[in-house]
Chain A
């Protein structure tokens, strides 16, 4: 590969701005500038050295900070679009046509457009995921592209730098010392800088004091953390890494846990508590009278013994008894059970009296357990009630047949056949809530509704997310990196004593100029150094003067 040979004889790779050895500016741009770009002094970044093959072109694209920033902004805008209307998973309808209808009805034609463009589910759209992927690639490429040369330039720092390098720093000073013996000046500088916790190196009549070099690695550490985090998010796609199931368990019921082989959970009791306060001003504004205080399921988790038949709920041993509350999931073996939903007062059983319509006399009670309806309820040897049909969620008739919408007993209906001593051949009756139909004319008996028994139902979600530890590691690395890069900074001071005993100094920091100036003020006083200037400040003043003259 081509090299640039500096006047001092050092060979630098193409793309280097400042000579790696002496610091002389190499490019025209660097020579022209008053203050040099110090980011990767003495090293070339890969994207500046190659631009031939297609791989190079792609590499250069993703390594560009401009492209990186554009990707950040594009992701930002894409994410914000998803908040214009609620996302699909926050609305309570499930089928496609229902969703389409919901958006159109609630938000008008804009809502319809939003839905049709797929914006109602932006975050799982292919293009959103590609944008995040491109951002990730950009972070990786840019970090490699710059991280390695940065590491090299930090490791191979010379103590002595050429005049043209020193003079192009933002903070510079030159002149004779203000007081005392110049032969001792460098020793004084070393002493003071060490006190200020700088690392000091000397080479003949030159000195380099440096502090906080490690902070330069901060951004690279945080980028690594981000990449680990994003990779961990993708682990979810690996089978077995991620379980997300929801289940309903009624009080007193035991159910196999979906996604958790061999486990059963029993709901002993569901508890809903309300705050018993007077409605506050905020509550009144929102039109709510009471606010929930606690949702709780008293649950028992069971595990099948190893020799049990899969799927059958015998041979169970109790694993854990726990009150699942919001913010307090039951946890076992990496699985967590969260309190997510509830349904109060679901009908469990309906009690009827077999009653003579005329006299009102009852022949006996029949209790239909809706989870386990019997075919026949025998009252005595001449009296019995047969259950010919059961429709848990009756929704009307179709071709004369009763229909049920769902298997949940929201609106139970029955076809009974009542056999009594009076009517030994039996009478048929269709019984629903608030409705009785007697298909074969007027019956002598009816199933008079007496009472219902209800119970609560608890909605739990079962989660397992084995990617969490990796997410935590990625997040922790990110936080450490970002703290290192933000709360520490890299300060360098170059001092050279010229033949006549006068001093030339220059200083640089990647951030916090205020801090480094305090340090230099201290050393200037201690070692009686010549006064320094901040070249960018002069710039500022000049600019302002120019500004004024245009008034």
Chain B
């Protein structure tokens, strides 16, 4: 087996292990009914953690073998960065698990990591050559530290979600019930994105167009999903494929919009099917699973992960980033969108810490804040990379 295919298989193994781990965590939580099976729950929990650690070891194996194969850290495109992010989330989860022995955390942390890795797998995993500005040790240090910081911060969102799952009463109509269900629906949309990508890839769907970009130049583009939205002034080049339904102006990338559209359709169908079959909200299904968790402890885990993650994030996403920028471009700060969003993330978590200082921003409010913080991190990873794009962009 070549190094690169070994690497791919290790990632696959990690994914499977996390999947099994999730089920085991489910078992661990479920069996903690008051039928005196607490020790059985503990056993399940331990087993779940062991499986997670095995998966993590495989994941690290993927990372190292790919690093050796490429000769530089595998964090230079969307696929690589996102899988690394998933790896660090698991690492942070294992760390917090050892600190707090809070089994229930795994029930949210592993699915979040699975969604992230699955999302990453939809991007081309080709080994790309590096442009000169990316050939720097500072870049490696910066990206890895920033990803570690983001992952530890993400654990606060994991704790926050768990907190909300327990504390929001699914039987009473409320704003928080609506938003919580919206968050879960978003998770389903990510699955929708994966499904849409896999289905159309499996069909070998391809449609090429020429179009006119904002600078009046003619460009070519290939869609891998049926083109619902057409690029500005498009001409279809492929035969026997769907003609776009709507044409978009040049500022909007209709190809990406099409991907979003199909993810939405697939995700919504899954969601509706689940609702029709079970006749319940997802929140209603998850709520009873987490009744045993201690809200006070969860609140503290959330706060502590922000405390632990904030300095790491500052070091990686701001300090090391500035050192690298200074070395590559002679200016430590350039207001590039990716930089600005790192600053925004940092300011947001600073606000979180200060809000906790004044009373009343603990518990539920704080849990929501942690979820919003994670949303900002994901926004920086997904939207800024794929849509706004700047110097750092892996996709532009």
Task: List A residues at the B interface (Cβ < 8 Å).
Answer: 37, 39, 65-66, 68-69, 72-73, 75-76, 79-80, 82-83, 86-87, 89-90, 105-108, 111, 123, 244, 275, 277, 280-283, 285-287, 291-295, 325-327, 329, 336, 338, 340, 461, 463, 468, 471, 475, 478-479, 482-483, 486-487, 511-514, 534, 536-537, 540, 547, 551
Using known A-B contacts A83-B337, A286-B396, A486-B311, determine if residue A513 contacts B300 with beta carbons closer than 8 Å.
yes
Cβ-closest chain B residue relative to A77: B344
Q: Are A479 and B127 in contact (CB under 8 A)?
A: no
Chain B residues lying within 8 Å of A486, measured Cβ to Cβ, are 307-308, 310-311
Q: Mind listing 18 A-B residue pairs with CB under 8 Å?
A: A69-B354, A72-B350, A72-B354, A79-B347, A80-B340, A82-B335, A108-B251, A244-B330, A282-B77, A286-B395, A293-B132, A326-B132, A327-B328, A329-B327, A338-B330, A468-B332, A479-B315, A536-B296
Kindly state the separation between the CA atoms of A259 and B276 in the bound complex, as whole angstroms. 72
On whether A475 and B341 interact (CB within 8 A), knowing A83-B388, A329-B327, the answer reads no
Using known A-B contacts A75-B347, A540-B296, determine if residue A83 contacts B384 with beta carbons closer than 8 Å. yes
Say yes or no: A76-B351 contact (C-beta < 8 A), given A512-B304, A514-B300.
yes
Residues on B with beta carbons closer than 8 Å to the beta carbon of A336: 330
A-contact bits for B306-321, CB 8 A (1 contact / 0 none): 0110110011000100
Is B355 in contact with A69, judged by CB distance below 8 angstroms? yes
Binary contact readout B35-75 vs A (1 if CB under 8 angstroms, 0 otherwise): 00000000000000000000000000000000000000000
Q: Which A residues are CB-close (under 8 A) to B311? A: 479, 482-483, 486-487
Interface string of B344-360 (1 = CB under 8 A from A): 10011011001101110
Note all chain B residues with C-beta closer than 8 A to A123. Answer: 335
Q: Is B34 an interface residue (CB 8 A)?
A: no
Distance in angstroms between the alpha carbons of A75 and B346 in the assembled complex = 11
A540 touching B295, Cβ below 8 Å:
yes
Please tell me if the beta carbons of A79 and B171 are within 8 angstroms of each other in the complex.
no
Indicate whether B292 reaches chain A with its CB closer than 8 angstroms. no
Give the residues in chain B near A338, CB-CB below 8 Å: 328-330
- In contact, A282 and B126 (Cβ under 8 angstroms): yes
Does B128 lie within 8 Å of A280, measured CB to CB?
Answer: yes
In the docked arrangement, what's the CA distance between A75 and B343, Å? 10
B106-135 with Cβ < 8 A to chain A: 124-133, 135
B238 within 8 A of A: no
Question: With A37-B359, A512-B304 given, is the CB distance from A482 to B131 under 8 Å?
Answer: no
With a cutoff of 8 Å between Cβ atoms, the chain A residues found around residue B307 in the complex are 486-487, 511
B326 engages A105 (CB within 8 Å) = no
B contact residues vs A (CB 8 Å cutoff) = 77, 100, 124-133, 135-136, 138, 169, 171-172, 214-215, 219-221, 249-251, 295-297, 300, 303-304, 307-308, 310-311, 314-315, 319, 322, 326-332, 335-337, 340-341, 343-344, 347-348, 350-351, 354-355, 357-359, 384, 388, 390, 395-396
Contact B355 A471 (CB under 8 A): no
A281 CA to B300 CA, complexed, in Å = 45
Q: Which residue of B lies closest to A467 (CB)?
A: B332
Q: A65-B358, A540-B295 are in contact. Are A79 and B340 (CB under 8 A)?
A: yes
> Besides A73-B347, A513-B300, 20 other CB < 8 A contacts?
A69-B355, A72-B351, A79-B347, A80-B344, A82-B340, A106-B214, A108-B249, A111-B251, A280-B127, A282-B126, A282-B395, A285-B124, A287-B221, A295-B132, A326-B135, A327-B133, A461-B330, A512-B304, A547-B169, A551-B172
- Which B residues are CB-close (under 8 A) to A295? 132
Do A281 and B126 touch (CB < 8 A)? yes
The closest CB in chain A to the CB of B351 belongs to: A72
* Chain B residues closer than 8 Å to A281, beta-carbon distance: 124-126
**A287 contact set on B, CB distance < 8 A:** 219-221
Q: How far apart are the CA atoms of A87 and B358 in the complex, in Å?
A: 36
Assess the B326–A468 pair: CB atoms within 8 A. Answer: yes
In the docked arrangement, what's the CA distance between A463 and B326, Å?
10
- Are A83's CB and B310's CB within 8 A? no
- A513 to B302: give the CA distance in the assembly, Å: 13
B296 engages A487 (CB within 8 Å): no
Q: When the two chains form their complex, are residues B135 and A327 in contact, meaning their CB atoms are under 8 A apart? A: yes
Q: Which residues of B contact A83 (CB under 8 A)?
A: 337, 340-341, 384, 388
Assembled-state Cα–Cα distance A482/B319 (Å): 13
The reply to whether B347 and A292 contact each other, CB–CB distance below 8 Å, is no
CB–CB B304/A511 < 8 A:
yes
Residues of A within 8 A of B308 (CB): 486-487
Contact A73 B251, CB 8 Å, known A275-B129, A286-B395, A486-B310: no
CA distance A69 to B356 in the complex (A): 11
Q: How far is the CA of A325 from the CA of B131 in the complex (A)?
A: 12
* Nearest CB of B to A293, in Å: 7
- Closest partner residue, chain B, to A548 (CB atom): B169
Pairwise interchain contact A76-B344, C-beta atoms closer than 8 A: yes
Other-chain residue from A72, A463, A514 in contact with B100 (beta carbon distance below 8 A): A514
Q: Is B314 within 8 A of A479, CB to CB?
A: yes
Closest 10 CB pairs of A and B: A281-B124, A280-B126, A275-B129, A326-B132, A463-B330, A281-B126, A83-B337, A338-B330, A76-B347, A106-B214
**Docked pose: A291 CA to B395 CA in angstroms:** 14
A482 touching B314 by the CB < 8 A rule? Answer: yes
